[in-house]
Amino acid sequence: MIAVVDIGNTRTKCGLFDGQGRLEKSTSFPTGGGIPSEGTSFFEKFSGAVIGSVVPTLTPLWERLFLDHGVHAHVASAASPWGFAIETENPEKTGVDRLANLEGALSFPGSLLVIDAGTATKYDLLEGMSKRSFPGGAIAPGVEISFEALLAQTAQLPRIELAKHSPVVGYNTETAIRSGVLHGFAAQVDGMILRILDERKLPPSTVIIATGGNAHFLHGRARFVTHLKPHLTLDGLYALSRKV
């Protein structure tokens, strides 16, 4: 079994993969100042481990946890043996979650775009056929950040439950907010997809993969997303484990 952990700004996700690359079990919990019991009790028997972290202060804690199990974890970085060339200006400053997502998407042929809808909404492009490269992408505020900013800057708009259906044209304040937040989010994603494909001269048939904790909000709303892969980051960290 291979243990992988994706330490994000908002949530930490853990997974255990078998020797065939199947995700046997997974869990997630809020990222805090340490490792909660959900994390310490999740991992039992495993022979290797990979850590992907965008919270550097927590990385040593997870390394120590894995060492307590007798396993020296590989900490993913721009210097890790990814299956593509990193062509950004400062590769070492690129979040490893973005790199792991692209690694997890390598099973799809040709150029593709990964949209990670988390705390931030990240758009990352993979180009090429047999020789793949990562030229860069875009980072926007996540849907929840936008929602919280709307509430913080208005006196009378109520907090609503987002996980409901609303038409594009809302018929009261609640549905109008939900429409603006969720359909607006999907419209941003669709618009960015079209702009990226146009700028890079990529065909409309390009594979578009959505992942991340808020990707489910795109289902039935975003028009150009072709695949939803909720565990793409974990998949990419597992794929990396096969090379280190």
Catalytic residues, by residue number, are 97
Question: Taking the chain, what is the end-to-end CA distance rounded to the nearest angstrom?
Answer: 15
d(CA 57, CA 71): 20
Six-digit token string for 130: 């047999």
Q: Using a CB cutoff of 8 Å and minimum separation of 24, what contacts does 215-223 make?
A: 215/115, 215/116, 215/117, 217/117, 217/143, 217/162, 217/182, 217/185, 217/186, 218/115, 218/117, 218/185, 218/186, 218/189, 221/182, 221/183, 221/185, 221/186, 222/186, 222/189, 222/190, 223/186, 223/190
Helix, coil or strand: residue 61: helix
Please give the C-alpha separations between residue 41 and each of 59, 197, 242, in angstroms, as whole numbers. Answer: 17, 44, 24
DSSP state of 226: -
Cβ(111)–Cβ(131) under 8 Å?
no
